[in-house]
Amino acid sequence: MNEPRVRRDFSDGPLCLSGRGVTKVFGLGDKKTVAVDHVDFDFHEGEFVSIVGESGSGKTTLSKMLLGLLNPTEGEILFQGKPRDISSGRKKREYWKGIQAIFQDPFSSYNVFHKIDSVLLDCINMRGGRALSREKKIEMMTEACSFVNLKFAELTNKYPFELSGGQMQRLMIARIFLLKPRILLADEPTSMVDACSRATILDMLLELRNETGMTIIFITHDIGLAYYISDTVYIMEHGRFVESGPADKVILNPQAAYTKRLISDVPKIHEEWDLSTVDLKAEE
C-alpha cells in the first residue's frame, strides 16, 4: 500500500449524521451495561470517518443506532442537521434507502440460496431500474463487478458459498456501487480477510467515496487502518469518545493515554504506514 493519502477537511461542509448525548444502556440493575455513554459527533457529507476502539467499546452498538436498528436509551441522532424521525415503518424504510451497511462476515448478511447475479439484480431493481432492458442491467452488473475486480461472466449462476471471503466482501462493495446510498456503514469489513485483500478492499472503499461522495463510517479496532483510510477519527473507550478530529492530528499527536496504547498495539503489518515515530510519551 502507498503513502497515507491526502486528507480533506469536511468540517465546514453539510452535516450528514450527528449525535447529541447518544446513550445505549442494556439490561437493568446490577446487570446494566452502558454500551454507549453520552457521545456527541458530527459526520459530514462525503467524509470518511473511522470509529476506533477495542472489543466491547461500543462500536457495533453505536453503528446499530446509526442504522436505526436500535433506539438510543437517551440522546438524539440528527440526520442532515434535523432530528431523525424513524418512528413509523414507512419513515424507517425511507431512511434505509439512504444508508447501507457491510459487516465483518459477508456471508452472514446474505441469503445463501440466492445466486450472485440475482443479488446484484435486486440492487438494480431496488434503485428503480426494474423496467430497464436486460442488456442494460447486464451492463450495470458488469460495471459494478469490474469496479471491484470481479468478472461478472464468471459469477453468473454461482452461489455465495462458491466465493472466497475476500471475493464475497468485494461483491458486497459491488452491491453498494449499484445501490449508491448516501451513507455507508462498514463494521470491521476487513477483519476476516488476509492483508492483501484488506488493502484492496480499503482502496475500493476510498474510491467509492471519491466517485460518489457518499459518507463512509468505518468501524475498526485497528488504528493503523484508520490512519491510512480516514479523514476524521473518533477514538472510543468504554462507550465514550476520548478524542476525535482529523486523522493525522489525532494519530500523529495523540493526547489520550488510550489512543497512545492503541497506537503502540498497531501490528507490524502496518509498517508501511509507519506510526513508530509517534511520540507516545508526550504529556496528557
Ligand X SMILES: Nc1ncnc2c1ncn2[C@@H]1O[C@H](COP(=O)(O)OP(=O)(O)OP(=O)(O)O)[C@@H](O)[C@H]1O
CB of 234: closest distance to ligand X in angstroms? 12
60 lies in the site for Mg ion, by CB under 5 A: yes
71 lies in the site for ligand X, by CB under 6 A: no
Question: For residue 58, what are the CA distances in angstroms to 26, 36, 63?
Answer: 11, 6, 9
CA distance 273 to 278: 11
CB of 62: closest distance to ligand X in angstroms? 7
Question: Which residue number has the CB closest to Mg ion?
Answer: 60
Looking at this protein, which amino acid is placed at residue 2?
Answer: N
Q: Considering only the stretches 54-62, 176-184, 198-206, 243-251, report the one whose residues sit in contact with ligand X under the rule CB under 6 A.
A: 54-62
Is the CB of residue 260 less than 8 Å from the CB of residue 36? Answer: no
Q: Other C-beta atoms within 10 Å of 59: how many?
A: 23
Is the CB of residue 169 less than 8 Å from the CB of residue 208? Answer: no
53 lies in the site for ligand X, by CB under 6 A: yes
170 lies in the site for ligand X, by CB under 6 A: no
CB of 134: closest distance to Mg ion in angstroms? 40
Interface with ligand X (CB under 6 A), residue total 13
DSSP string, 20-74: EEEEEEESSGGG-EEEEEEEEEEEETT-EEEEEE-TTSSHHHHHHHHHTSS--SE
* Partner touching 35 among ligand X, Mg ion, none, CB below 5 to 8 Å by kind: ligand X
Cα 197 to chain centroid, rounded:
16
58 lies in the site for ligand X, by CB under 6 A: yes
108 lies in the site for ligand X, by CB under 6 A: no
244 lies in the site for ligand X, by CB under 6 A: no
In the shown chain, the binding pattern of residues 1 to 30 toward ligand X, with x for contact by CB under 6 A and - for none, equals -------------------------xx---
CB of 269: closest distance to Mg ion in angstroms? 21
Is the CB of residue 84 less than 8 Å from the CB of residue 19? Answer: no
Considering only residues 218 through 237, tell me which ones interact with ligand X, judged by CB under 6 A. Answer: 221
Is the CB of residue 187 less than 8 Å from the CB of residue 104? Answer: yes
33 lies in the site for ligand X, by CB under 6 A: yes
CB of 188: closest distance to ligand X in angstroms? 7
CA distance 24 to 22: 7
35 lies in the site for ligand X, by CB under 6 A: yes
190 lies in the site for ligand X, by CB under 6 A: no
